[in-house]
Structure 1
Amino acid sequence: MKTIKSTLLLILALFLATNFSNAQKFYQVHQDNVKPSKLWEYEKIAKEFNDACVEHNLQTSWLCATMDDMRYLYVTPIENFADLDKRPFADMAKAMGDKFGELFERFDKCYDSHGDYIIVLDEELTYMPDGISQSQEGQDYRNYYFIHYKPKNGKKIREGMKAVKEMFASKGSKNYYRIYRTGFGNMDSYYMVATSSKDAIDAATKEKANSELLGPDRFETFKKVMDYASKMEEMTGEIRRDLSYSPKTE
């Protein structure tokens, strides 16, 4: 057990040294996989919890995103691993007493699995020439593309992602996207491409215009990614402003 613990600490130290030094943005994600039968109950509890955070002026923040497979993601920016040791809910739990624990007992009945992990906003691969931002005003609809790959193909698939970005830039594409990659706590390796739109119609309109702009040669560039992908997934979702939170500012 001591050897395993020492190995894990070494892995954490190496991850810290090689990743947090790269001027990328890191986020802690809490993911709830909500059961269909408990969706409306979960929504009710989540809004109660958000109201309690506002009432107690909780000193942390998160952006809530949902996916159409009933994943609820609460995304909090972090500076380093020391942030993971913070206990932002401690004062709120003390003030609420038993009510705090009761809220989470009700949450637990709404899903069979949930957990935390880290993702990285990969600025080098992201295509947002006007400035990188997680959310854009009036564009809360999301298309998510998960590109899974084997670790042995990590270098090749990254080269392919760079080629795609270069193609978008050379054509002056207006179909901007952000690239997130898996970090500590993920057992699988993947890139997630996120695009923002007003709604499903706006997303489809942008995609059609972009395909026409890039032309048929785009397939040869996309192939540089696809050749090394082990699995592809597409998901839609939205940013939930009503379940997102940030503390009051003076």
Structure 2
Amino acid sequence: MTVAVIQFGGSNCDRDSVRALSHLGIDAERVWYEDGLPDDATGVMLPGGFSYGDYLRAGAMAGRTPILASIREAAAEGLPVLGVCNGAQIGCEAGLTPGAFTVNRSARFQCERIHVRVENADTPWTAAYDEGAVLELPIAHGEGRFEADDDTYDRLVEEDRILLRYCDADGDVTDAANPNGSRDNVAGVLGSQETVAVMMPHPERATLPDLGGTDGTGLLRGFERTTTTV
């Protein structure tokens, strides 16, 4: 299996993502977005960073590049896709997942370690955890506040597509534990298929023991649980 980590101008977590996946024994390679989606890709990771300098709004321009159309088609056929931070913004802009990520409630860039609670453990991305498990993961974003209209949000809840929520260390979902003002503390959601997910926290920054904490390992291992070749 080879996970294609898509690199845009302004990406800054593509190397981190490849290193984290490789550390877990998952073959991964960086793919420049203009080169298109490789035919042998068995998964796609949209990494963090500042694609196109976040002009217009974060993820807006990258989400409309030709490679995202290819990724969207492949995802519909079951190719696993994970968007992280800027990759989550790109995923929403490209229609891989519903809702949007917008400016933090603080109107400031937030870089810290936070806690999230696993809301749905019956997905490839969260199968390593029990429902309600609390993970400690880093965040680093200025536009991480998840928003969705009422109908969209209700559908996400009804279909059990809320993947992660911000919480405190005890697993309590509170406003104080919400770092960016996301609706109902949402930190990650699923697309129409469970093989597609986006999240604002960085699991690739919580997989190498020397960097402190490995709570993100199980999330990245989702690529091992569902592989489909383009």
Q: Normalising TM by the smaller chain, what interval?
A: under 0.3
Higher relative contact order (CA 8 A, sep 6+): 1
TM-score under structure 1 length normalisation:
0.26
TM-score under structure 2 length normalisation:
0.27
- Answer 1 or 2: which has greater helix percent: 1
